[in-house]
Protein backbone atom coordinates (compact mmCIF):
# COMPACT_ATOMS: atom_id res chain seq x y z
CA UNK A 1 0.00 0.00 0.00
CA UNK A 2 1.63 3.21 -1.18
CA UNK A 3 0.99 6.23 1.01
CA UNK A 4 -0.58 9.19 -0.77
CA UNK A 5 1.20 12.52 -0.81
CA UNK A 6 -1.45 14.45 1.15
CA UNK A 7 -3.34 11.55 2.72
CA UNK A 8 -4.37 13.40 5.92
CA UNK A 9 -6.07 16.20 4.01
CA UNK A 10 -7.73 13.72 1.67
CA UNK A 11 -9.01 11.73 4.65
CA UNK A 12 -10.55 14.88 6.15
CA UNK A 13 -12.23 15.59 2.81
CA UNK A 14 -13.44 11.97 2.60
CA UNK A 15 -15.00 12.16 6.06
CA UNK A 16 -16.80 15.42 5.22
CA UNK A 17 -18.05 14.09 1.88
CA UNK A 18 -18.94 10.71 3.38
CA UNK A 19 -21.02 12.35 6.11
CA UNK A 20 -22.85 14.40 3.46
CA UNK A 21 -23.36 11.25 1.36
CA UNK A 22 -24.73 9.16 4.24
CA UNK A 23 -26.98 11.88 5.60
CA UNK A 24 -28.12 12.79 2.09
CA UNK A 25 -29.24 9.21 1.56
CA UNK A 26 -31.08 9.37 4.88
CA UNK A 27 -29.39 6.24 6.25
CA UNK A 28 -27.42 7.84 9.09
CA UNK A 29 -27.24 10.88 11.33
CA UNK A 30 -23.77 11.46 12.74
CA UNK A 31 -23.48 13.01 16.18
CA UNK A 32 -20.80 15.45 17.31
CA UNK A 33 -19.66 12.83 19.82
CA UNK A 34 -18.97 10.19 17.14
CA UNK A 35 -15.25 9.49 16.86
CA UNK A 36 -13.41 9.82 13.58
CA UNK A 37 -12.73 6.07 13.61
CA UNK A 38 -16.46 5.31 13.90
CA UNK A 39 -17.22 7.67 11.02
CA UNK A 40 -14.46 6.16 8.89
CA UNK A 41 -15.71 2.62 9.40
CA UNK A 42 -19.35 3.53 8.75
CA UNK A 43 -18.55 5.57 5.65
CA UNK A 44 -16.29 2.82 4.29
CA UNK A 45 -18.95 0.13 4.80
CA UNK A 46 -21.68 2.33 3.31
CA UNK A 47 -19.62 3.08 0.19
CA UNK A 48 -18.80 -0.62 -0.24
CA UNK A 49 -22.48 -1.53 0.23
CA UNK A 50 -23.50 1.01 -2.42
CA UNK A 51 -20.74 -0.28 -4.71
CA UNK A 52 -19.08 3.15 -4.87
CA UNK A 53 -15.68 1.68 -3.91
CA UNK A 54 -14.17 -1.79 -4.16
CA UNK A 55 -14.08 -3.69 -0.84
CA UNK A 56 -10.85 -4.58 0.89
CA UNK A 57 -10.49 -8.35 1.50
CA UNK A 58 -12.08 -9.14 4.89
CA UNK A 59 -8.81 -10.44 6.39
CA UNK A 60 -7.00 -7.17 5.52
CA UNK A 61 -9.52 -4.67 6.91
CA UNK A 62 -8.09 -2.30 9.52
CA UNK A 63 -8.40 1.38 10.35
CA UNK A 64 -5.25 2.08 8.32
CA UNK A 65 -6.55 0.34 5.19
CA UNK A 66 -10.00 1.93 5.49
CA UNK A 67 -8.43 5.39 5.88
CA UNK A 68 -6.26 4.76 2.82
CA UNK A 69 -9.22 3.56 0.75
CA UNK A 70 -11.28 6.63 1.71
CA UNK A 71 -8.36 8.94 0.92
CA UNK A 72 -8.13 7.39 -2.55
CA UNK A 73 -11.90 7.89 -2.98
CA UNK A 74 -11.56 11.56 -1.97
CA UNK A 75 -8.65 12.07 -4.37
CA UNK A 76 -10.89 11.09 -7.28
CA UNK A 77 -13.52 13.71 -6.41
CA UNK A 78 -13.56 17.12 -8.01
Average pLDDT, the chain: 94
> How far, in Å, CA of 2 to CA of 9, rounded?
16
Which residues of the chain fall below pLDDT 50?
A: none
Nearest to 44 by CA among 23, 71, 26, 78: 71
Q: Does domain 7-75 fall into CATH 1.20.120.1930?
A: yes
What is the reported pLDDT for 19?
96
Length of the chain: 78
Q: Dihedral of CA 28/34/35/36: which sign?
A: positive
Domain ranges of the chain: 7-75
Amino acid sequence: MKKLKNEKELLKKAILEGVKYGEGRGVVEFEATDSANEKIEYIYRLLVHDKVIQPIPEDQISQVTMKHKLAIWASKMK
